[in-house]
Amino acid sequence: MKHWAVLLVPLVALIGYFASELGRVDLLLVGTITVDVVDDGSRPAGGAVSYAASIARAYGIRACVVSVAGEDADLSVFAGHELHVVPAAATLTFEHTYTWFGHQRKLRVTANPNVTLSRAHVPRHCQRARTVILGPLTQHELDAASFLEYDSMWDALFRGRQHIGLMAQGFQRRLGPDGRVLPLLTPSPQLLSGLGRSRRVSLFLSDVETEPWSEDWLGLVVGSAERVLITRGSAGATEYNDTGVHDIHIVPVDKVRDTNGAGDTFATGYMLALARGLPDPGAHASWAASRAVMQPQSCKPHCAGDLIEGHVPAWRPADRLAAAAHGLGAAARGLVDRGLREGLAAALHLRQLPPGTLTQMAAKATAGAGGGAAQSGKKKSGGVGGKKLAAGPADEEDDDDDDELASVTVATVTL
Ligand SMILES: *[C@@H]1O[C@H](CO)[C@@H](O)[C@H](O)[C@H]1NC(C)=O
Ligand SMILES: *[C@@H]1O[C@H](CO)[C@@H](O)[C@H](O)[C@H]1NC(C)=O
């Protein structure tokens, strides 16, 4: 009877895991909605999340969208998605001047809702989304670091459970005194903190933002992200990842009608291809962006994904189960990897000890088993802090050992 129970517990846990994965939200989009005031006097809705929402719909995905907007915002682009709006006095308003600098437009902010979105604004069931895409448009509108749920030891176990894509162009924009948008010369603190400590964010920028950076800054950012994708307009894109620097070529189209939202489409296409486990997300993203630039500005962002629709199979329960199995595999690999690394570190640590230490340690341990009680008794009678002190020194010694172990690991990696 007991043997049955031992098998039953992990089985029930596994079934529970797959069942909860089936019900998981596929995509969470977070960022501010804009009103784009264009030369011809029209005021279409815009912003990275608007384009991401339009593209996600083309992929047949119902996303959870968390955004900030005033009463004047046009929210129709989010039809079909689950929309959560944090109300604000004003909607972020960009004035566009179509004077071209390379492929860049001149922008001016004329109204700013002044709300910082964070994970706390996201409903609980959306926080568990399989893929998270963050699309800040200005420096202070989004706390990207708050979305790094597993940014620590747990990350080793949960890597692969949630992909985070950061479309960070807004973090690299500075507002001049007249509201004009200017690029920053170095990566902003918002960008760097949004990458966290454990290299698990996919970062998307365009060459407009990264051009002013020195090699060192670029190296620092690349070293802090899981991958960095820099789009270069008609010159394609560059992917920096664990296997090096890769060119991603554009997919040629007969006629480029409007490049608005091309970068957002690229990023969204990349993240969705990644979640789906497609072999070459970069090439897929490039294809998706090529469909978006074939659409005229007049119908955007609504129509940005229209030429994609029907060309990518929709997510089905089988895909979700496959993604869940993949997540489980990644967690297992994380666990094994961690075990191996710690084991290796421990082995190296032992090898570096002076000869004879092991025998001494063994002798001490044997003596300690008998003498421990007497020792702690002595400390107690010493009196300062009583009980706590007696337990304290032993704990601290353990901690010291851990620290040494950690420093050995680091040294080994550097060598
Ligand atoms: C929002 O604006 C008000 C007044 O302009 C300012 O006092 C406040 O600090 C701003 N809040 C944020 C989060 O920037
Ligand atoms: C790195 O990027 C290239 C080009 O997009 C891709 O083929 C490769 O699989 C990526 N490697 C990793 C580890 O993501």
In the chain, % helix, strand, coil (3-state, to 5) comes to 50, 20, 35
Alpha carbon distance 156, 137 (integer Å): 31
In terms of Cβ atoms closer than 10 Å to its own Cβ (0-12, 13-18, 19+), residue 358 is: exposed
Closest C-alpha among 262, 264, 272, 263 to residue 295: 262
CA 172 to centroid of ligand 1, rounded, Å: 20
- Ligand with minimal distance to 111 CA: 1
d(CA 52, CA 56): 6
For the chain, list the domains and their CATH numbers: 23-315 (3.40.1190.20), 353-369+400-415 (no CATH)
Helices then strands (H, E): number in the chain? 12, 15
Query: Between residues 222 and 325, which one has the greater pLDDT?
Result: 222
Average pLDDT score, the chain: 81
* Residue of the CA atom closest to atom 5 of ligand 2: 282
| Cβ of 114 below 6 Å from ligand 1 | yes
pLDDT computed for residue 389 by the predictor: 34
**Host H or E run for residue 331:** helix 317-352
pTM for this predicted structure: 0.78
Say how many Å lie between the CA of residue 250 and the centre of ligand 2: 16
Q: What's residue 153's pLDDT?
A: 55
Q: Return the axis-axis angle of helices 387-414 and 317-352, rounded to nearest 10°.
A: 100
Mutate to test the pocket of ligand 2, among 222, 228, 246, 247 (most ligand atoms within 8 A of CB): 246
pLDDT at 358: 67
Is the pLDDT assigned to residue 167 strictly greater than 90? Answer: yes
For residue 23, give both structure tokens. 């019900």
Residue 20 backbone dihedrals phi, psi, to 5 degrees? -70, -30
